[in-house]
Amino acid sequence: EYRDTSERDAFLERELDDLHRSAETLDEIIKDLEKRLATEFSTGLEKINKEFGKLFGTMFGGGEAELILTKEDKNLDVDAEDLEPADAESSGVAKEEGLDIKVSLPKKKIKSLMMLSGGERALTSIALIFAISQVNPPPFIILDETDAALDEANSKKYGDLVEILSKK
């Protein structure tokens, strides 16, 4: 019985060591993937911002637009002010990330997307969609009534832009 138990104990100890090594390897892989993902995301965001600025300027005859990464603390049933910084991650306070669109139209003092008219919002959205498609071009794009909120002049700008981008 002693020999059987000793062999079983040695086997389980080897299995436990293997599990610990596997967990360490997985932790390293996760850290590498998180670094790569962060790098790819920031690089992609920069490329999209560059194209977005160009296309926004083309659509509006000037102005600037950019995507801004936002991070907010989201409280999950615990008051974040009552926690120590080390406890914040494990307690129920999560970082909520998102993107905001900052716009500056020519000859207007508008900084927020909510202050734009429906047509201006539609043009801004169209410029963002086209910017994303310029960074990572799909084989084709289906545009279903994307110009519905646009007046005739803006529909013409939109059509001209679609024609320019269709060559690419």
Query: Alpha-carbon distance 74 to 140, whole Å?
Result: 38
Residue 138 backbone dihedrals phi, psi, to 5 degrees: -80, 165
Place of tokens 């991650």: 89
Whether this prediction's pTM lies above 0.75 is answered by no
User: What interhelical angle do 2-60 and 118-135 show, nearest 10?
Assistant: 120
pLDDT tens track, the chain, 168 positions: 999 999 999 999 999 999 999 999 999 999 999 999 999 999 999 999 999 999 988 888 888 888 888 887 766 555 545 545 454 455 566 677 888 888 888 777 766 677 777 788 888 888 999 999 889 888 888 888 888 888 888 888 888 888 888 887
Q: Which helix (H) or strand (E) holds 57?
A: helix 2-60
